[in-house]
Amino acid sequence: MTRIFVYGTLKRGCHNHAFMAGQQFLGVAETVAGFTLFDLGGYPGMVPSAGCGLGVSGEVWEVDDACLERLDGLERTSEGEYRRQAVALAEPFAQAGAQAYVYLRSVEGFPAVGSAWTE
Protein backbone atom coordinates (compact mmCIF):
# COMPACT_ATOMS: atom_id res chain seq x y z
CA MET A 1 0.00 0.00 0.00
CA THR A 2 1.15 3.54 -0.82
CA ARG A 3 0.11 6.82 0.75
CA ILE A 4 -0.86 9.37 -1.88
CA PHE A 5 -1.56 13.06 -1.36
CA VAL A 6 -4.14 14.31 -3.88
CA TYR A 7 -4.88 18.01 -4.35
CA GLY A 8 -7.04 18.34 -7.47
CA THR A 9 -9.48 16.34 -9.56
CA LEU A 10 -8.90 13.13 -7.56
CA LYS A 11 -10.30 14.61 -4.33
CA ARG A 12 -13.71 13.59 -3.04
CA GLY A 13 -16.47 15.28 -5.05
CA CYS A 14 -14.23 16.06 -8.03
CA HIS A 15 -14.56 14.66 -11.54
CA ASN A 16 -11.69 12.10 -11.41
CA HIS A 17 -12.51 10.81 -7.94
CA ALA A 18 -13.75 7.51 -9.41
CA PHE A 19 -10.07 6.57 -9.83
CA MET A 20 -9.93 6.33 -6.01
CA ALA A 21 -12.74 3.75 -5.80
CA GLY A 22 -12.02 1.00 -3.28
CA GLN A 23 -9.11 2.87 -1.70
CA GLN A 24 -8.88 4.12 1.90
CA PHE A 25 -9.35 7.80 2.70
CA LEU A 26 -7.05 8.74 5.60
CA GLY A 27 -7.88 12.41 6.03
CA VAL A 28 -7.59 16.01 4.96
CA ALA A 29 -4.00 17.23 4.82
CA GLU A 30 -1.65 19.99 3.74
CA THR A 31 1.88 19.95 2.42
CA VAL A 32 4.59 21.91 4.16
CA ALA A 33 5.28 25.31 2.62
CA GLY A 34 7.04 25.37 -0.71
CA PHE A 35 4.48 24.47 -3.40
CA THR A 36 2.03 26.45 -5.54
CA LEU A 37 -0.91 25.26 -7.60
CA PHE A 38 -1.47 26.40 -11.18
CA ASP A 39 -4.70 26.13 -13.17
CA LEU A 40 -3.71 24.15 -16.26
CA GLY A 41 -7.14 24.37 -17.87
CA GLY A 42 -9.56 22.21 -15.90
CA TYR A 43 -7.01 20.56 -13.63
CA PRO A 44 -4.23 21.76 -11.35
CA GLY A 45 -0.51 21.28 -11.32
CA MET A 46 1.48 21.45 -8.10
CA VAL A 47 4.97 22.86 -8.60
CA PRO A 48 7.79 23.58 -6.18
CA SER A 49 7.87 27.25 -5.27
CA ALA A 50 10.93 28.34 -3.33
CA GLY A 51 10.09 30.92 -0.73
CA CYS A 52 6.35 30.25 -0.88
CA GLY A 53 4.92 30.48 2.62
CA LEU A 54 1.87 28.33 1.90
CA GLY A 55 1.25 24.62 1.77
CA VAL A 56 -1.13 22.96 -0.69
CA SER A 57 -4.35 21.56 0.77
CA GLY A 58 -5.67 18.15 -0.22
CA GLU A 59 -6.36 14.63 0.98
CA VAL A 60 -4.28 11.61 1.94
CA TRP A 61 -5.27 8.19 0.65
CA GLU A 62 -3.82 4.73 1.01
CA VAL A 63 -3.91 3.03 -2.40
CA ASP A 64 -3.05 -0.42 -3.68
CA ASP A 65 -0.66 -1.18 -6.53
CA ALA A 66 -3.44 -1.48 -9.14
CA CYS A 67 -4.78 1.96 -8.22
CA LEU A 68 -1.27 3.42 -8.25
CA GLU A 69 -0.79 2.13 -11.79
CA ARG A 70 -4.10 3.74 -12.88
CA LEU A 71 -3.10 7.04 -11.25
CA ASP A 72 0.31 7.00 -12.92
CA GLY A 73 -1.50 6.57 -16.26
CA LEU A 74 -3.95 9.37 -15.54
CA GLU A 75 -1.14 11.71 -14.52
CA ARG A 76 0.95 10.71 -17.57
CA THR A 77 4.08 9.98 -15.58
CA SER A 78 5.60 7.99 -18.44
CA GLU A 79 5.08 11.00 -20.75
CA GLY A 80 6.80 13.40 -18.37
CA GLU A 81 3.80 15.52 -17.43
CA TYR A 82 3.89 14.68 -13.72
CA ARG A 83 6.34 12.87 -11.46
CA ARG A 84 5.20 10.93 -8.42
CA GLN A 85 7.51 11.85 -5.56
CA ALA A 86 7.65 12.01 -1.79
CA VAL A 87 6.33 15.23 -0.26
CA ALA A 88 6.44 16.40 3.32
CA LEU A 89 3.09 16.96 4.97
CA ALA A 90 2.05 19.04 7.96
CA GLU A 91 0.54 17.44 11.07
CA PRO A 92 -1.18 15.07 11.55
CA PHE A 93 0.63 13.34 8.66
CA ALA A 94 4.10 14.84 9.21
CA GLN A 95 5.63 11.58 10.43
CA ALA A 96 4.18 9.39 7.69
CA GLY A 97 4.48 11.69 4.67
CA ALA A 98 3.07 10.68 1.30
CA GLN A 99 3.74 10.71 -2.40
CA ALA A 100 2.17 13.30 -4.69
CA TYR A 101 2.10 14.14 -8.38
CA VAL A 102 4.31 17.16 -9.08
CA TYR A 103 3.85 18.93 -12.41
CA LEU A 104 7.01 18.91 -14.56
CA ARG A 105 6.19 21.11 -17.56
CA SER A 106 6.31 24.88 -17.87
CA VAL A 107 3.58 26.83 -16.10
CA GLU A 108 4.30 30.01 -18.05
CA GLY A 109 1.02 31.61 -19.06
CA PHE A 110 -1.06 29.57 -16.58
CA PRO A 111 -2.59 31.36 -13.58
CA ALA A 112 -1.37 30.53 -10.08
CA VAL A 113 -4.28 29.58 -7.83
CA GLY A 114 -2.38 29.44 -4.55
CA SER A 115 -2.84 26.58 -2.13
CA ALA A 116 -6.30 25.12 -2.85
CA TRP A 117 -8.03 23.71 -5.92
CA THR A 118 -11.81 23.74 -6.32
CA GLU A 119 -13.89 22.61 -9.25
d(CA 30, CA 57): 4
For residue 40, the one-letter residue type is: L
Q: Give the distance from CA 43 to its chain's centroid.
A: 11
Q: Is 75 assigned a catalytic role?
A: yes
Residues, the chain: 119
Task: Note whether 90 and 29 are within 8 A (CB).
Answer: yes
Query: Residues 62, 38: contact at Cβ < 8 Å?
Result: no
Element (H, E) at 74: helix 65-74
In sequence order, the β-bridge partners of residue 87 are: 98
Q: Choose the catalytic residue: 30, 75, 81, 91.
A: 75
The catalytic site residues sit at 75
